[in-house]
Amino acid sequence: MSIDLPGFADPVLSAQSTFRAILDAMSRPGTIFLAGQGLSPPAPLMPASAACLLTLVDAETTLSLDAGCAAARDWIAFHCGAPAAPVEAADFVLALALPDLTALGAGSDDGPQDGATVILQVASLRSGQRLTLSGPGLRAPATLDVLGLPDDFVSVWAINHARFPRGIDLILCAGDELLALPRSLRITRAIKEA
């Protein structure tokens, strides 16, 4: 059992501020927000992704962990108490590498809110491949540098976006930073200036 690390020091206020950060991140895609500062989750969890789990996941949501997160399973079970589910049936998916988005629950046209949310840990939100984002929440196209997404992410995302209103929402976490890529977003590859 590796539950010997605490969760939020102040569960109510920390969960509220993290929820606010996620809400803002979903409203302003590509903008970086802080979450989980002061949190010391077990490896391989990062503070931001741990804060997302402590805020969003509880006994009423199902969670799927990818194989790389197994070391944190006990900690997550203890603090969140979420029932485990196979990846195709989970409400939330915690991953160290982008899972196959077409295999996840995308909701239905009647219930698009049932689409899964993927909390993905990446190496950096400030370097790596440069993407251009446009869509609801962005007055003008924004750029995003991210290290840790697969090279074919733009085409993977195009398939996800085309299913709107069904689809997967993505929360990218690196350290204590997070940003959200909701399914309404259009993403193209940006030409990186030298």
Partner 1 sequence: MQPETIPDPASSHTARQRWMAVLARAGRADIISLLEHVPPLPNHIVLRGPESGLVMVRGRAGGAGAAFNMGEMSVTRCTVRDADGRVGHAYVAGRDRAQAELAARLDAALQDAGWHRRIEASVIAPLALAQAEQRATTARKAAATRVQFFTLATMRSGS
Q: Which residues bind partner 1 (CB under 8 A)?
A: 1, 3-7, 11, 78-79
CB of 1 to partner 1, least distance (A): 7
If the CB atoms of residues 3 and 70 are measured against partner 1, the closer one turns out to be 3
What are the backbone angles phi and psi of residue 8, rounded to the nearest 5°? -60, 135
Instruction: Pick between residue 4 and residue 100 the one whose CB is nearest to partner 1.
Output: 4
Check: CB of residue 129 under 8 Å from CB of residue 146.
yes
* In the complex, least distance from residue 183 CB atom to partner 1, rounded to whole angstroms: 34
* Least distance in angstroms from the C-beta of 39 to partner 1: 13
Cβ proximity to partner 1, 11 vs 150, nearer residue: 11
Q: How far is the CB of 4 from partner 1 (least distance, A)?
A: 5
Residue 178 backbone dihedrals phi, psi, to 5 degrees = -140, 155
Of the pair 6, 136, the CB lying nearest partner 1 is at 6
Closer of 11 and 141 to partner 1 (Cβ)? 11
- Residue 191 and residue 71: Cα distance in Å, rounded? 38
Please tell me the distance from the alpha carbon of residue 146 to that of residue 19, in angstroms, as a whole number.
Answer: 23
The backbone torsions φ and ψ at residue 26, rounded to the nearest 5 degrees and listed phi first, read: -70, -35
Helix-strand-coil split of the chain, %, nearest 5: 30, 25, 45
Min dist. Cβ of residue 7 to partner 1 (A): 6
Compute the least distance from the CB of residue 73 to partner 1, in Å: 16
CA–CA separation, 144 vs 82, rounded Å? 32
Chain centroid to CA 49? 7
Cis peptide, bond prior to residue 44, ω within 30 of zero: yes
Of residues 13 and 103, the one with the C-beta less far from partner 1: 13
